[in-house]
Amino acid sequence: MVVQTLTEKILEVNDLSVNYESSQGTVHALDSVSVTIEPHSLTAIVGESGSGKSTLGLAIIGLLPVPPAKSIVGKVLYKGVNLLELNKEEMRRYRGTEIAMIFQEPITSLNPVYKIGTQIEEAIAIRDSRNARKSANSEHSEIKSRDKREEIIASLKMVRIPDSESVADRYPFELSGGMRQRVMIAMALAQKPSLLLADEPTTALDVTTQAEVLRLMRNLMDEVDTSILLITHDLAVASQVADRIAVMYGGQVVEEAEVNELFSQPMHPYTNGLLSCIPAGSKKKARLKPIQGNVLDLRETYNYCKFAPRCPHVMDKCWKTKPDLQTLRAEHRVACYLYE
Amino acid sequence: MKSNGSQESRRFLRLFLARNEARLGLSIVTVFLAISFVIAFTGKSLLPYNPIEQNVGPVLASPSAAHLFGTDNLGRDVFSRILFATPNDLLVSFIVITSSFAVGIVLGGIAGFWGGILDEILMRSTDVIFAIPALVLAMSIAVILGPGLVHMTYALMIIWWPPYARLARGEALQVSQRNFIEAAKTSGTSTLTILRRHLIPNILTSMLAYATLDIGTVVVVYAGLSYLGLSVQPPTPDWGSMVNAYQDYLVSAPWLPLVPAITIAAVVIGFSLLGNALRDALESQRIS
Amino acid sequence: MNFATFILRRLGLAIFVLLGVAVITFTLSHLVSSDPLVAWLGRASGNPVLAAEYIQRYHLNDPLYVQFGYYLFALLHGDLGFSVFKGEPVSEALLQTLPFTLQIAFCAILLTLAIGIPLGVLAARYHHTVVDYSISGFYLAGIASPYFLLALFLLVILTYTFHLLPSGGAFSPGIREPYPITNFPLIDCLIEGRWSAFLDGVTHLIMPSLALALGIFGYITRVLRASILDVLHANYIRTARAKGVDETTLFFKHALRNASIPVVTLASIVVTWLVTGTLFVEVIFAYPGIGQYAVQALSNLDYPSLLAITLVLAVIIVLSNLTADVLYAVVNPEIRLR
């Protein structure tokens, strides 16, 4: 394992742009996105459908389906290594044990014909074989099956799955959605990655289970040496567990700040819009305030601010050039002409 | 609702015809259907030679300009015989498929929609019929009824309906359990209207694809029965019986048994391509 | 626990179906002619000794339901009537011919899998390329061709053009038939240690089995190809990639295992076509199996044989469906445990 100093960032995305080829033209899914993730932190990427957040996650772990994805430009620096310059086999070595990912639909994300224990065992085996290759000596060539089984049970216990002994021998269809998502988390963390990407992990779950899984992820991050990148469309979800939040719109990061800072001093008009969308149940007769305007068409290239058509504070300048992401006070970045 | 329907069907047809499979299959099928119609209306008159007349050319002549598929052991023109036999296979298939379709929809629709003991009876009867291969069952029935084109058609009609009943039942079951049936019922629509507006279109579309593919299967089974001598008797030509009659000449005049056999395969391939394309197109329409 | 009930239920259904088939053959036997004796004895019904014996044994003068009872009784005891043409009881004839057909069937299934599975994998791997389209064309031609076409085609090429394989029969003339120990001629050759006889039998086996396999493998290829393509888009494949699984393991351990499940459901179609095809293939290759027996019975109006063969084939199909159901439950844990 690479020894890392406390100040070295886990992930640094620099000017990442991704284009998709579709039957109706080129879709600009990501437009010069830059984001960093500190060690031991939970960063949330928040955006509506089409904001590019899932694309960002898949691009980081190298699972973008290459047709239809057409061009991937920029840098994705993981512990200093640009992942975009690696070939397929080299990238594969990073998946699982360095960067892990869990996905949105837990119901279909586990292989239906293998037991839970078998699937976790596979993850562990990959980790062990990679560790054995790294440490040039092969002292632990035969890991006892009993130890393996214990580790599998332990990983299930870690995600607070009740009755882990029997769950390990069950098939995925015997578990509920929430349980399956926990298994996914267990399986991902069993490989001891430094970075865990979570793409809408709680969207398919009911509200109670959602809160439990989020809390679990937060607690685990403190127990295990992993940083988390949480991708979600729900600002409220992000606020429950994130240290930092990056708001995306139209394939760009429009605002990024520490969570309390973002909620107390939102700067970008889009962020403001999102915050007012969260229903405040205490007020009587409060109307929901949606963001006016229509969803962005990503097939177009924009030489101006993408949010301009919907912005309540739009100025002439906004229609002429695109605002860059600028750092204002205390690690708070915004891309908006209101602040230039 | 109505205008949407015809718009959808036009769009569907356009997409469907754009596929290679559909065009190839449709061309093959059209050729054979055209031949059948012509023969049905004009009989032997438009054929190059009289298919039953012997010695219109030298015996066992190889294919040539005069005789496209050569002549057989009795000097009959093989090409004319093949053409003349075309309506047989196609007619039998269409009749069998149509009757199976009709019987299947009725039985399956009732069983699936009402469920209960009707459903059980249907399922068990189809299970029993499925257990006996079509060919063998048709053979047994043929032995009782005696040979002949009409008798073979009857035999096949008796045994061919179960898959259609099953399909119809499956669709009826799905539809009857869907929520909008409840909604329609509560709004006071009569059961008959429910059937007409929701059940029938669904069943028809999914069974249509299967039926097109199935035509090929009937052709093969019928050809097999004909090969075994259970259908038309000599000298009337029929593809299957021709193969049997000519197979001793496999070494000396290989085109004799091979041409009718390949013709059968060609018809089946045509309907298979058509049916495949239809099924794929219907599925993608269903998804969208 | 649920697995056992599953099998029991399937078994119950199988027995019910066989009963239904017996009803059908019984009905057919009475439709053959107004005299039920004809169904049992065919042309031998004129023979007073046999007639008296059969009337007495099966109570052919009693009402129908009684007759049916005795019919079932007879079936369970292996009495299927007497074949004048063969000059022996039908059960004897079946015992002699069935093993040959089973040999062909076994070999045909092996060939079908050997051709169908790799081609299905290839078609999926190179989908929508020339490879895929040629494979499609190949199997479509196979499925569409009537079995006698495939048989004749093979004969022309392998026997008459290249002189590679014999034209018919189970063994070459001059080879002594093996002593019936298991009743399976090829196995008996092996048991007797007659290696050359065994090889000879195998060369006679290849073409009939190949003819059948060429007509059936298409179903497997088509379903496998579609199934693999389906599975490769599944979410759990994405999860496996995210875990760092390599592409080979991904394909064989994760994708193929799931993709093969629908293929098992093809078993009943395969068996049905095998049974149908074997009739023609055995006639053309003069292979002394149940198919040839059936065709001979047909031309000789040998009713007892024909009806008995119908029953036996139904039994074979029901049994193989049962096996296929069990196999499916083994392969798909969801069926097993729900």
Residue type, C232: L
Question: Which tokens sit at A176?
Answer: 């509920």
Share of chain B above pLDDT 70, in %: 85
Interface touch C244/A92, C-beta < 8 Å: yes
Flag whether pLDDT at B212 surpasses 70: yes
Amino acid A285: pLDDT: 62
* Among the listed residues A252, A178, A256, the one whose alpha carbon sits nearest the alpha carbon of residue A217: A178
Amino acid B3: pLDDT: 44
User: pLDDT for A136-193, tens place per residue?
Assistant: 655 555 566 678 888 899 889 888 888 888 999 999 988 988 889 999 999 998 998 9
The nearest CA of chain C is from the CA of B160 a distance in Å of 14
Share of chain A above pLDDT 70, in %: 91
The answer to whether B172 touches B203, Cβ cutoff 8 Å, is yes
Distances (CA, A) of B104 to B108, B163, B165, B171: 5, 8, 4, 12
Q: Which residues of B touch C147 (CB under 8 A)?
A: 224
Is A151 a member of any domain? yes
Q: Which chains touch B (3 or more CB pairs under 8 A)?
A: C
User: pLDDT for C291-313, tens place per residue?
Assistant: 999 988 888 878 888 888 988 99
Whether residues A243 and A117 share a domain: the answer is: no
Is A310 a member of any domain? yes
Is A238 a member of any domain? yes
Q: Which C positions 235-294 lie with beta carbon below 8 A of chain A?
A: 235-236, 238-246, 254, 257-258, 261
Amino acid B185: pLDDT: 65
Q: Which residues of C touch A61 (CB under 8 A)?
A: 242
Distances (CA, A) of C229 to A23, A104, C239: 21, 22, 17
Q: If DSSP codes are grouped into helix, strand and coil, which group holds residue A176?
A: coil
Interface touch B228/C153, C-beta < 8 Å: no
The nearest CA of chain C is from the CA of A124 a distance in Å of 10
Rounded to whole angstroms, the Cα distance separating B79 from B260 reads 9
Is A282 a member of any domain? yes
Q: In a mutagenesis test of the C interface, which of B128, B219, B242, B246 is the best target, namely the one with the most C β-carbons within 10 Å?
A: B128
Mean pLDDT of the A69-81 span: 87
Which segments of B161-199 does DSSP mark as H helices, in order? 162-177, 179-186, 191-194
Give the end of a domain, one of A137, A160, A192: A192
Which segments of C126-266 does DSSP mark as H helices, in order? 130-144, 147-154, 185-192, 195-232, 235-243, 247-249, 257-259, 261-264
Distances (CA, A) of A64 to A23, A73, A84: 18, 13, 11
Mean pLDDT of the B123-152 span: 86
Whether residues A246 and A226 share a domain: the answer is: yes
Question: Which tokens sit at A106?
Answer: 């837990």
The alpha-carbon radius of gyration of chain C (Å, integer) is 24
Nearest CA in chain B to C139: B269
A2-16, B200-214, C258-272: range with highest mean pLDDT? C258-272
Q: In a mutagenesis test of the A interface, which of C233, C239, C246, C254 is the best target, namely the one with the most A β-carbons within 10 Å?
A: C239
Contacts with B44 (C-beta within 8 Å, 6 or more apart), sequence order: B50, B51, B80, B84
Rounded to whole angstroms, the Cα distance separating B103 from A335 reads 69
Mean pLDDT of the C28-44 span: 70
Interface touch A63/C242, C-beta < 8 Å: yes
Interface touch C301/B125, C-beta < 8 Å: no
CA dihedral angle for residue C262, residue C267, residue C268, residue C273, rounded to 10 degrees? 120
Nearest CA in chain A to C257: A113
Name the phi and psi angles at A307, rounded to 5: -90, -10
Whether residues A199 and A337 share a domain: the answer is: yes
pLDDT interval class at A46 (50, 70, 90): very high
Whether residues A132 and A257 share a domain: the answer is: no
Mean pLDDT lowest for which of A4-18, A226-240, C2-16? A4-18
pLDDT interval class at B192 (50, 70, 90): low
Rounded to whole angstroms, the Cα distance separating C288 from C272 reads 20
Interface touch C310/B137, C-beta < 8 Å: yes
Q: Select the more confidently predicted residue: C239 or C160.
A: C239
B54-68, B170-184, C257-271: range with highest mean pLDDT? C257-271
Interface touch A63/C261, C-beta < 8 Å: no
pLDDT interval class at B160 (50, 70, 90): very high
Q: If DSSP codes are grouped into helix, strand and coil, which group holds residue C317?
A: helix
For chain A, the average pLDDT equals 84
The answer to whether A58 touches A42, Cβ cutoff 8 Å, is no
Distances (CA, A) of B34 to B87, B240, B271: 10, 21, 14
Is the Cα torsion angle B70, B74, B78, B80 positive or negative in sign? positive
Contacts with A273 (C-beta within 8 Å, 6 or more apart), sequence order: A289, A291, A310
Angle A82-A85-A88 (CA atoms, 0-180°, nearest 5)?
115
Amino acid B254: pLDDT: 84
Interface touch B143/C301, C-beta < 8 Å: yes
Is A221 a member of any domain? yes
Of B220, B228, B264, the CB nearest to C298: B228
User: pLDDT for A274-291, tens place per residue?
Assistant: 888 776 655 566 666 677
Chain A contact present for C233, CB below 8 A: no
How many contacts does A have with C, using Cβ atoms within 8 A? 70
Amino acid B287: pLDDT: 59
Helices C195-232 and C267-284 pack at an angle, to 10 degrees, of 140
Q: How many domains does chain A have?
A: 2
Mean pLDDT of the C206-233 span: 92
Flag whether pLDDT at A6 surpasses 70: no
pLDDT interval class at B1 (50, 70, 90): very low
Chain C contact present for A105, CB below 8 A: yes
Interface touch C306/B273, C-beta < 8 Å: no
Touch criterion met for B and A (3+ Cβ pairs within 8 Å):
no
Cis ω before A68 (30° cut-off from 0): yes
Chain B contact present for C303, CB below 8 A: yes
Interface touch C275/B133, C-beta < 8 Å: yes
The answer to whether C113 touches C104, Cβ cutoff 8 Å, is no
Distances (CA, A) of A314 to A265, A319, A333, B254: 19, 8, 19, 84
Whether residues A152 and A277 share a domain: the answer is: no
Of C145, C155, C272, the CB nearest to B133: C272
Rounded to whole angstroms, the Cα distance separating B73 from C79 reads 45
Whether residues A76 and A207 share a domain: the answer is: yes
Q: If DSSP codes are grouped into helix, strand and coil, which group holds residue C34?
A: coil
Q: Select the more confidently predicted residue: B186 or A313.
A: A313
Rounded to whole angstroms, the Cα distance separating A59 from A32 reads 13
pLDDT interval class at C212 (50, 70, 90): very high
Rounded to whole angstroms, the Cα distance separating C34 from C24 reads 16
Beta bridge partners of B77: B71
For chain C, the average pLDDT equals 84
Is A312 a member of any domain? yes
Mean pLDDT of the C275-284 span: 91
Of B125, B144, B227, the CB nearest to C28: B144
Give the end of a domain, one of A168, A192, A216: A192
Q: Which residues of B touch C309 (CB under 8 A)?
A: 136
Q: Which residues of B touch C149 (CB under 8 A)?
A: 243, 258, 261-262, 264-265
Amino acid C223: pLDDT: 92
Chain C contact present for A9, CB below 8 A: no
Flag whether pLDDT at B196 surpasses 70: no
Flag whether pLDDT at C336 surpasses 50: yes
Q: Which residues of B touch C310 (CB under 8 A)?
A: 132, 136-137, 139-140
Rounded to whole angstroms, the Cα distance separating B60 from B257 reads 12
Cis ω before A279 (30° cut-off from 0): no
Rounded to whole angstroms, the Cα distance separating A315 from A338 reads 9
Rounded to whole angstroms, the Cα distance separating C96 from C78 reads 14
Interface touch C246/A92, C-beta < 8 Å: yes
Name the phi and psi angles at A210, rounded to 5: -55, -50
Residue A180 domain boundaries:
109-192
Flag whether pLDDT at B184 surpasses 70: no
Mean pLDDT of the A241-256 span: 90
Amino acid C338: pLDDT: 57
Is A103 a member of any domain? no
pLDDT interval class at B215 (50, 70, 90): very high
The nearest CA of chain C is from the CA of A115 a distance in Å of 9
CA of residue A1 relative to chain centroid, distance: 23
pLDDT interval class at B2 (50, 70, 90): very low
Interface touch A92/C334, C-beta < 8 Å: no
Is A171 a member of any domain? yes
Interface touch A111/C236, C-beta < 8 Å: yes
Interface confidence, given as ipTM, is 0.84
Whether residues A303 and A218 share a domain: the answer is: yes
Chain C contact present for A93, CB below 8 A: yes
Flag whether pLDDT at A2 surpasses 70: no
Question: Which tokens sit at A330?
Answer: 């205390």
Mean pLDDT of the B196-225 span: 82
Whether residues A170 and A117 share a domain: the answer is: yes
Interface touch A191/C235, C-beta < 8 Å: no
Flag whether pLDDT at A197 surpasses 90: yes
Burial class (CB in 10 A: 0-12, 13-18, 19+), A331: exposed
User: pLDDT for C45-92, tens place per residue?
Assistant: 667 777 777 777 666 667 777 777 877 877 887 777 777 777 788 888
User: pLDDT for C125-137, tens place per residue?
Assistant: 888 889 998 998 8
Amino acid C85: pLDDT: 74
CATH number of the domain bearing residue A42: 3.40.50.300
Q: Which residues of C touch B229 (CB under 8 A)?
A: 298-299
Nearest CA in chain C to B129: C21
Whether residues A127 and A216 share a domain: the answer is: no
Q: In a mutagenesis test of the C interface, which of A90, A97, A111, A197 is the best target, namely the one with the most C β-carbons within 10 Å?
A: A111
Contacts with A140 (C-beta within 8 Å, 6 or more apart), sequence order: A128, A132
Contacts with A228 (C-beta within 8 Å, 6 or more apart), sequence order: A41, A42, A43, A195, A196, A197, A198, A217, A221
* Among the listed residues B24, B87, B81, B69, the one whose alpha carbon sits nearest the alpha carbon of residue B269: B24
Neighbouring C-alpha atoms within 13 Å toward the C-beta of C82: 16
Q: What is the pTM of this model?
A: 0.83
Q: Which residues of B touch C275 (CB under 8 A)?
A: 133, 136
Name the phi and psi angles at B250, rounded to 5: -55, -40
Question: Which tokens sit at C103?
Answer: 């040999």
According to DSSP, the β-strands at A11-22 and A25-37 are: antiparallel
Flag whether pLDDT at C224 surpasses 90: yes
Give the end of a domain, one of A176, A192, A208: A192
Of C152, C310, C317, the CB nearest to B140: C310
For chain B, the average pLDDT equals 82
Interface touch B250/C155, C-beta < 8 Å: yes
Whether residues A178 and A219 share a domain: the answer is: no
Contacts with C226 (C-beta within 8 Å, 6 or more apart), sequence order: none
**If you write DSSP's letter for every residue of C101-144 in order, what string do you get?**
HHHHHHHHHHHHHHHHHHHHHHHHHTTTSHHHHHHHHHHHHHHH
Amino acid A298: pLDDT: 78
Whether residues A199 and A331 share a domain: the answer is: yes
Mean pLDDT lowest for which of B10-14, B191-195, C13-17? B191-195
The nearest CA of chain C is from the CA of A181 a distance in Å of 12
Flag whether pLDDT at C211 surpasses 90: yes
Nearest CA in chain C to A121: C243
What is the helix (H) or strand (E) element at residue B107, kind and residue range? helix B78-114
Whether residues A323 and A210 share a domain: the answer is: yes
What is the helix (H) or strand (E) element at residue A71, kind and residue range? strand A69-78
CA dihedral angle for residue B225, residue B226, residue B231, residue B234, rounded to 10 degrees? -150
